[in-house]
Amino acid sequence: MFKGRHFDWSVILLCVRWYLAYNLSLRNLEEMMAERGISVDHATIHRWIVRYSPELLKRFNRCKRAVTGRWHVDGVSRTHF
């Protein structure tokens, strides 16, 4: 999936994940990567998001468990004084 890319796959996945999960701007991500010593332009991050987010979404959805209406509560009662 990441063959032939200039950056390591872990950097690409980290940027795409942070963008999708935490509502960060592309420039925020560029700055965060710079703080970690990785020089990447916000336009490059945008291309990664456009390219990889649909594929990652498909893969994540395959692994998701079905949500049910059942709730389980443990029997531990905690009292605070």
Q: How many domains does the chain have?
A: 1
pTM, 2 dp: 0.69
pLDDT over 80 (residue 52): yes
pLDDT at residue 27, as a whole number: 96
B/e letters for 52-66, b = 16+ CB within 10 Å, e = fewer, are beeebeeeeeeeeee
Whether 72 is covered by a domain: the verdict is no
Instruction: Report pLDDT digits (tens) over 27-50.
Output: 999 999 999 999 999 999 999 999
Whether 2 is covered by a domain: the verdict is no
Work out the pLDDT band at 59, boundaries 50, 70, 90: confident
Q: Are 31 and 24 in contact (CB under 8 A)?
A: no
Whether 18 is covered by a domain: the verdict is yes
The domain in which residue 50 lies consists of: 9-63
